[in-house]
């Protein structure tokens, strides 16, 4: 009897220790890599801390924060009014932390002759007004329009920055579930056009200049590149002094944190 009591006590003890040192993050696939790199670094520096990072999209991240299944929600867009209202209703006070800047490069296949587009041209391509690359100075090839799924913050940002209020993406546009999948589709498809976070653009795809400005750290920081955005981590209320959440979020203001952000391909806050 005594033994089993002791065992129960022990298990409870272990569980509380774990609970103290556990941090759960969920949300955007764009912010995910930053969160993961931060988590890796933080766990290496502080053994005994367990940080899990899920990437289920910004919408799911906000939902997870609301129903308490995560401590930090990674969002690649600001909270929507409906989400804010729902949080208010449940008594959750969201606290916004800017993690980094991101540009939304429009990418095409490396063999594409087109060097740049205007925002209006990008919009016309996505609404289906322009369907062939020769209409914008490329070779005679059908444009394959690729978009992120409606669940992603990248999609929301694209809609907000490029499409505006009324324009609709054409019916034949393809939807893919992650930034990596967009890059994968674009690098494989000669006529493709897509968009993804800056960190996902590598040599396998070609980023286009928008309104004559190349997407880069400099153009994002001086706000000349038109398709740029801030990336966020949301917490429930202002994190308490000395809590794990606060210590973790402080990391991004340090030099090491900015180094990590830059390494992944985003633009750190300090660059401003």
Partner 1 sequence: MQNKRSLEVILNDCNNVITLSSRDQMVRRLLSLLGRGVLFSITSVAALAVLAIIYFIAKDAIPFFQQVGLKEFFFTKSWYPTGEPAQFGAAAIFVGSFLITGAAVIIAVPPGVFAAFCMSDVLSFNVRQFMKPVIEMLAAIPSVVYGFFALVVLAPLLQNHGGSTLAMVWWILALPILLLGSYVAGDLLTPEKLSHTAVRACRIVITVVLMTLSLLLIRSVGTLLLGLEISSGVNALNASVILGVMALPTIVSVSEDALQAAGRELREGSYALGATRAETIIKVVLPASISGIFSAVLLGVMRALGETMVVWMASGNAAQVPKPWYNLLEPVRTLTATIAGDMGEADQMTGSAHYHVLFAMALCLLIFSFSCNLIGEWIVNRQRKRLRGE
Footprint of partner 1 (CB under 8 A):
56-57, 59-60, 63, 66, 80, 82-83, 85-86, 141-142, 144, 149-151, 159, 165-166, 168, 171-177, 181, 184-185, 188-192
- Least distance in Å: CB of 139 to partner 1? 13
Rounded to whole angstroms, the Cα distance separating 75 from 122 reads 24
Within a 13 Å sphere around the CA of 248, how many CA atoms are in the beta-carbon half?
Answer: 31
CA distance 2 to 107: 66
| Nearest distance in Å: CB 70, partner 1 | 13
Q: Which of residues 4 and 172 has its CB atom nearest to partner 1 in the complex?
A: 172
Is the CA virtual torsion 200, 252, 80, 220 positive or negative? Answer: negative
**Separation of alpha carbons 209 and 225, rounded Å:** 9
Q: Tell me which H or E stretch contains 235.
A: strand 228-236
**Nearest residue (CB) to partner 1, 29 versus 121:** 29
- The C-alpha atoms of residue 146 and residue 182 are separated, in whole angstroms, by 7
Shortest approach of partner 1 to residue 150 CB, angstroms? 5
**Residue 113 beta carbon to partner 1: minimum distance, rounded to whole angstroms:** 17
Question: Which residue, 80 or 247, is less far from partner 1 as judged by CB?
Answer: 80
Q: Which is nearer to partner 1, 58 or 209 (CB)?
A: 58
In terms of DSSP bridges, do strands 106-108 and 206-207 run parallel, antiparallel, or are they unpaired? antiparallel
Q: How far is the CB of 272 from partner 1 (least distance, A)?
A: 30
Give the tokens for residue 90.
């449940």
Least Cβ distance, residue 164 to partner 1 (angstroms): 11
- Burial level of 237, CB count in 10 A (0-12/13-18/19+)? exposed
Q: Which is nearer to partner 1, 95 or 173 (CB)?
A: 173
The residue among 57 and 215 lying less far from partner 1, judged by its C-beta, is 57
Sign of the Cα pseudo-torsion (121, 122, 124, 129, in order): positive
Which residue, chain included where needed, has tokens 């994002």? 220
């Amino acid at each position: 009897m005594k033994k089993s009591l002791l065992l129960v006590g022990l298990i409870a003890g272990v569980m509380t220790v774990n609970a103290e040192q556990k941090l759960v993050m969920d949300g955007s696939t764009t912010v995910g890599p930053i969160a993961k790199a931060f988590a890796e670094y933080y766990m290496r520096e502080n053994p005994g801390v367990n940080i899990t990072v899920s990437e289920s999209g910004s919408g799911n991240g906000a939902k997870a924060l609301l129903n308490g299944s995560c401590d930090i929600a990674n969002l690649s867009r600001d909270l929507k009014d409906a989400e804010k209202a729902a949080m208010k209703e449940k008594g959750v006070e969201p606290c916004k932390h800017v993690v980094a800047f991101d540009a939304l490069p429009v990418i095409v296949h490396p063999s594409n002759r087109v060097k740049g587009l205007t925002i209006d041209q990008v919009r016309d391509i996505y609404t289906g007004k322009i369907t062939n690359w020769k209409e914008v100075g490329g070779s005679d090839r059908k444009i394959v329009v690729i978009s992120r799924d409606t669940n992603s913050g990248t999609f929301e940002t694209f809609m907000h920055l490029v499409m505006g209020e009324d324009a609709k993406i054409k019916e034949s546009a393809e939807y893919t579930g992650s930034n990596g999948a967009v890059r994968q589709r674009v690098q494989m498809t000669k006529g493709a056009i897509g968009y993804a976070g800056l960190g996902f653009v590598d040599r396998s795809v070609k980023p286009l200049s928008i309104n004559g400005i190349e997407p880069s750290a400099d153009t994002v920081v001086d706000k000349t590149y038109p398709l740029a955005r801030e990336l966020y981590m949301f917490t429930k209320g202002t994190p308490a002094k000395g809590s794990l959440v606060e210590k973790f979020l402080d990391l991004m203001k340090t030099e090491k944190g900015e180094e990590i952000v830059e390494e992944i391909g985003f633009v750190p806050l300090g660059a401003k």
